[in-house]
Structure 1
């Protein structure tokens, strides 16, 4: 008499019969459709889990809390603030700039909180790209990851073009030389060790923070009369012709894309989660404190720029160049030396932003190569003994050759196009974080896990935040191209603002169709094993055929919420103990001040 096969035994048979299913977080019976299962998704419709190879040659956790915080600041306070505000002011006027940056700032802060919840719980390589794959849709995650890699690679090119623009303050001699010098330096630095990247970012970001603090003080003094004309400016520049809303509605919504370019980079702090020490402590701290510092810097800086610099200032933003409002304010203070210093700081910020984008893009490509199934060639998963994914670094940096197009179409116009591409890509990333968070939270609740189990939870954002982020950012993407259509259609501007949407859709559909499962899996189970699951006869190999269409949205009821959860390591506990010893020791007040500032 044949022995009856239990459900768990059948799972084992299924698992052994189809090794390809080991990639996924759950195994479903092939007869689930015959049984009338509520979820009719087949094997390949389950969430793809991102797992780095279990070898010593993977990424290293070499970034400290102070470095991670400064990386978040350095990734945001950079080219977008120092140069992008000039373009924003010229396009929309001072009021449009202040309002749009404030709106985008709040949206990004909420988005960061959503990302922080997932990054603290699952500090893996790939960050929000991995979360979109795991909790929302593998096909969407594939399209998003490649889009964001392209975003970072183009950002490096954008920063190299910005370096040429900044250099024009001193000389117009062969500006492409500075791009080559910066490119060699960035690739060399990122090929050493993640600590080298982190330390450079820390000190460059510190310089930017100090400079912005000086700028805020100087901007107030210039406005009240300490300027070359010895006159009180006040709100005069808000009342000139065309201000405060230059360009009307089209000019107003156009500022959204430049604001998105400026704020871009905050979401990539999640990418550092896979290389952050003690992520359970450090990631929430970064999310909660860093963005408020950024927002304060942005709001105060933009307010002072709008007060002190008229929207129609000569060469503020045109085809050949873009002038930094920060440099203009320092010149108004009456010091050419100070203006040169400010321009030097802008140059270092361009270097910092390029460094940050190159790091993030390299890690995204590495993450694509280590997920299962692979979404990038295996060669990009190779790392040096110091944990540097060198092949991924070289491919990411190679896109920087775009910067040499400035020789043919002008620095200002090329930088504007690249800024549009990066800004829209940042917005797509924020929408994706909202989608991933929505499905993650839904899975957490449906599977009955207590909210108290979450290592970090922004309670005031429940339950509205994911929907708010998705809807508000989608509206921004749709509206910001208004001026490229009305009153006159500009094909180049339209393409730079909307190109990534059809590209995302094509990549999403292509991956989903390529990965579409068979209607009947290639299994040959014993008839008595099949009868234990369903009265349907056992499947045969000959019944295998491709399904024409399917939906690969991840089922929140079965996605594995335990995998990749961070478990505190000995070094994490040692780090906590060392911190407590310092804070409670003889120099406790000094250490508390240091941790607060650093």
Structure 2
């Protein structure tokens, strides 16, 4: 359930409105489709490595193992900062949500949720998992209801009392608003919304039967992207005009989800949708803190941070890493004195580009991983094979790199220093981290040679109990097989 909907948060519920206003309905749909394709190929590449080596840290660990120390440090620090900013982003978005109901001091409410996130993450991991399960379930049900309501609204049951169809696709400057500049600016928003899908593999080291769970997770990515992201973008573009009043602001009252629920005439629709968005933000913040703390733990275990970050409590939770990430997320959130909407826009850009860089790097490491296996004649040892290789990883590297470079196109004409740094700040931070650590190593750090790659340490071997369970599952047929798979996936 975490895989299905754990990462759905402010990017989808709040960011789609701004994207629609800036790019129009077809730009919104195409940007989600293109980023979705990059993510799908990236997840296949990542899944191949995660099943073979289900370790905490996932691709950040592989970057050091199949790349170099400097690369491992740069991506670990980059991705940890990504999650800390995501925690801050969700706390900031809470202010926008609560403004729908009350003008009570925003920081008090956000601080309450901030402390609540710490509580969920310093006790037994089961509490984190159970909380995410029910929050993800609520999001899934709500999005399905949103699809049904969208069809009803489009068919004529709306405040205009008329059939909408695709009229907003040819309305004004639609379907492409602001031309290529508007279209290119949406990639980061789409990456922000889909960010976190790759972080599911960070839990591989704490997942039972990773040789079964991870492939199912990876294969389901296609359907998650299609249903939760593309369908959502499609219905929003159909029912909401790109120039809807205040759509480009960060007010939750103009969230496309809220607008559609209000259009159908449900008096409590807006309040219900905002309540769901509220729980989604808690869920996304919870997931970001969990993933970020595991990255801080890896920074300690790999020698980049002090060893104190590897300390565990009696529940085997890296509590120092959790508290450090939690505090840094809170400090980032403290910047909201500049304005909640402004800070959230900056965080969206920073995290979105950070996600794109992480996906690009996964493609690079996947190619090196495969080339190393081939060099040592061990490709046949793969437990889960990326069927898209070599085209999938190369698509992620080449096309993903192109998107990284053009996503800030709109900042050049007219040129805006603030918008430029907002769009490209992370592209400066990542290589800077690499260079600083390389200099710290006095230029002696080198990429590991293909013939020297270690394919034995942490390699996964199924236990006898897991093998017997696999044999039993394969022997089932008909309704018994359906019942087993349903229970295995959802119960």
TM band (smaller chain): over 0.9
* TM-score (norm: length of structure 1): 0.79
Aligned 8 A contact 1:102 1:299 in 2: yes
Distance (Å, rounded) in 2 between the aligned partners of 1:136 and 1:201: 33
Instruction: Output the aligned Cα RMSD.
Output: 1.9
Q: For residues 318-377 of structure 1, what are the alpha-carbon distances to aligned partners after superposition, in whole Å with 9 as ceiling and x for unaligned? A: 266673110110000101212211111111111100000000000011011112xx0111
Aligned match of 1:470:
397
Aligned match of 2:367:
438
Aligned match of 1:569:
463
Q: For residues 534-580 of structure 1, what are the alpha-carbon distances to aligned partners after superposition, in whole Å with 9 as ceiling and x for unaligned? A: xxxxxxxxxxxxxxx45611101111111110122355346546756
Aligned match of 1:504:
430
State the Cα distance separating 1:234 from its structure 2 match. Answer: 1.1
Equivalences, count: 490
Return closer, same or farther for 1:565/1:474 CA change in 2, 3 Å cut-off. same
State the Cα distance separating 1:387 from its structure 2 match. Answer: 1.1
Distance (Å, rounded) in 2 between the aligned partners of 1:102 and 1:195: 34
Greater gyration radius: 1
Superposed, 1:265-284 pairs within 5 Å as: 265-284=196-215
Return closer, same or farther for 1:77/1:239 CA change in 2, 3 Å cut-off. same
Distance (Å, rounded) in 1 between the aligned partners of 2:251 and 2:343: 9
Aligned match of 1:493:
419
Please state if 1:87 is matched with 2:37.
no
Aligned 8 A contact 2:370 2:379 in 1: no
Return closer, same or farther for 1:568/1:589 CA change in 2, 3 Å cut-off. closer
Distance (Å, rounded) in 2 between the aligned partners of 1:361 and 1:596: 25
Please state if 1:405 is matched with 2:298.
no
Aligned match of 2:483:
590
Return closer, same or farther for 1:119/1:281 CA change in 2, 3 Å cut-off. same
Q: Aligned to 2:107, which of 176, 182, 191?
A: 176
Aligned 8 A contact 2:13 2:257 in 1: yes
Q: For residues 365-410 of structure 1, what are the alpha-carbon distances to aligned partners after superposition, in whole Å with 9 as ceiling and x for unaligned? A: 1011112xx011111000111111111111101122322333x332
Return closer, same or farther for 1:382/1:89 CA change in 2, 3 Å cut-off. same
Aligned match of 2:322:
393
Please state if 1:124 is matched with 2:55.
yes
Aligned match of 2:91:
160
Aligned 8 A contact 2:43 2:221 in 1: no
Q: Which has the higher helix share?
A: 2
Return closer, same or farther for 1:450/1:249 CA change in 2, 3 Å cut-off. closer
Q: Aligned to 2:124, which of 193, 198, 209?
A: 193
Distance (Å, rounded) in 2 between the aligned partners of 1:103 and 1:187: 35
Aligned 8 A contact 1:160 1:179 in 2: yes
Please state if 1:149 is matched with 2:76.
no
Aligned match of 1:263:
194
Distance (Å, rounded) in 2 between the aligned partners of 1:86 and 1:209: 20
Q: Aligned to 1:375, which of 301, 304, 314?
A: 304
Structure 1 spans left out of the alignment, 5+ residues: 1-69, 517-548
Distance (Å, rounded) in 1 between the aligned partners of 2:129 and 2:378: 36
Aligned 8 A contact 1:260 1:423 in 2: yes
Return closer, same or farther for 1:187/1:339 CA change in 2, 3 Å cut-off. same
Aligned 8 A contact 2:47 2:215 in 1: yes
Q: Which has the higher contact order (CA 8 A, sep 6+)?
A: 2
Aligned match of 1:541:
none
Distance (Å, rounded) in 1 between the aligned partners of 2:250 and 2:273: 23
Structure 2 spans left out of the alignment, 5+ residues: none
The alignment partner of 1:315 has SS state of: coil
Distance (Å, rounded) in 2 between the aligned partners of 1:161 and 1:386: 30
Aligned match of 1:50:
none
Return closer, same or farther for 1:322/1:102 CA change in 2, 3 Å cut-off. farther
Q: For residues 25-71 of structure 1, what are the alpha-carbon distances to aligned partners after superposition, in whole Å with 9 as ceiling and x for unaligned? A: xxxxxxxxxxxxxxxxxxxxxxxxxxxxxxxxxxxxxxxxxxxxx22
Distance (Å, rounded) in 1 between the aligned partners of 2:225 and 2:134: 16
Aligned 8 A contact 2:28 2:186 in 1: yes
